[in-house]
Amino acid sequence: RCSDLNAELGGNPKRSSWGPPALPVEPALYDRPFPFYRRPAEVGRFSLDAQRCYHGDARQLRYFAPPATMHPTPPFDLRHGYRDRYVRRDEGLREGLEHLLRGSQTLFWAWRGQVLTTPYERQEGWLLAVSLFRGTLYISEEETPATQLQREQRSETLKELTYMGYKFERYMCADTPDGSPDPTGVVNTNEAFCTVVRTRLGSHSLLFAGEVDCTDPCGPWAEPPACYIELKTCKELHSPAQRRSFYRYKLIKWWAQSFLPGVSRIMAGFRAPDGSVVALETFETMKIFQLIRDDPSCWKPAVCMNFCEAFLAFLKRVVTEDDPHLVHLFAWEPGHPVSYTRHHGGEHVFLPTWYVETMSG
Given the rule CB under 5 A, which residues bind Mg ion?
Answer: 211, 213, 231
32/151 with CB nearer ligand A3P: 151
Q: Give exposure, 99-134, as e/b (b: 16+ Cβ within 10 Å).
A: bbbebbeebbbbbbbbbbbbbbbeebbbbbbbbbbe
How far apart CA 35 and CA 309 sit, in angstroms, is 8
Question: Which amino acid is located at 241 in the chain?
Answer: A
Cα separation of 284 and 262, whole Å?
11
Report the residue number, 95 or 211, with the smaller CB distance to Mg ion.
Answer: 211
Of ligand A3P, Mg ion, none, which one sits near residue 80, judging by CB under 5 to 8 A according to partner kind?
A: none
Question: Phi and psi at residue 276, in whole multiples of 5°?
Answer: -85, 160
Judged by CB under 6 A, which of 104, 140, 233, 285 binds ligand A3P? Answer: 233
166 binds, among Mg ion, ligand A3P, none (CB under 5 to 8 A by kind): ligand A3P
Query: Least distance from C-beta 355 to Mg ion, angstroms?
Result: 26
Q: Which one of residues 114, 144, 162, 188 is an interface residue with ligand A3P (CB under 6 A)?
A: 162
Query: Minimal CB distance to ligand A3P: which residue?
Result: 165
Name the segment binding ligand A3P (CB under 6 A); options: 74-82, 159-167, 282-290, 353-361. 159-167
Report the partner that residue 162 touches, choosing among Mg ion, ligand A3P, none (CB closer than 5 to 8 A by kind): ligand A3P
Contact (CB, 8 A) for 125 and 144: yes
Which alpha helices (H) appear in 178-292, and where do they start and end? 240-245, 251-259, 288-292
Smallest gap from residue 233 Cβ to Mg ion (A)? 8
What does the alpha-carbon distance between residue 150 and residue 279 come to, in Å, rounded to a whole number? 30
Buried b (16+ CB within 10 A) or exposed e, 2-21: eeebeeebbebbeeeeeeeb
Under the binding rule (CB under 6 A), the answer on residue 165 touching ligand A3P is yes
Size of the residue set binding ligand A3P (CB under 6 A): 7
* Smaller CB separation from ligand A3P, 134 or 235: 235
Q: In the complex with ligand A3P, which residue's Cβ is closer, 281 or 322? A: 281
For 317, the enclosing helix (H) or strand (E) is helix 301-318
Of 12 and 47, CB closest to ligand A3P: 47
Nearer to Mg ion, 168 or 340 (CB): 168
* Contact code string over 168-187 relative to ligand A3P, x by CB under 6 A: x-------------------
Min dist CB 3 to Mg ion, Å, is 44
Q: State the Cα–Cα distance between residues 178 and 63, nearest whole angstrom.
A: 8
Per-residue x/- mask for ligand A3P, residues 185 to 214, rule CB under 6 A? Answer: ----------------------------x-
Nearest distance in Å: CB 162, ligand A3P: 4
CA distance 195 to 208: 8
Asked if residue 99 binds ligand A3P (CB under 6 A), the reply is: no
CA gap 308, 353 in Å, rounded: 29
β-strands 265-271, 228-235 pairing: parallel
Which one-letter DSSP state was computed for residue 322? B
Cα distance between residue 256 and residue 262, in whole Å? 10
Query: Residues 299-338: x/- map of binding to ligand A3P (CB under 6 A)?
Result: ----------------------------------------
The amino acid that residue 136 corresponds to is T
The Cα–Cα gap between 117 and 122 comes to 10
Stretch that binds ligand A3P, among 133-141, 164-172, 240-248, 274-282 (CB under 6 A): 164-172
Residue closer to ligand A3P, measured from CB, 172 or 292: 172
Q: Toward ligand A3P, which CB reaches closer, 189 or 339?
A: 189
233 binds, among ligand A3P, Mg ion, none (CB under 5 to 8 A by kind): ligand A3P
For residue 288, what are the contacts with CB-CB under 8 A and spacing of at least 6?
Answer: 251, 254, 255, 301
Q: Which residues bind ligand A3P (CB under 6 A)?
A: 162, 165-166, 168, 213, 232-233
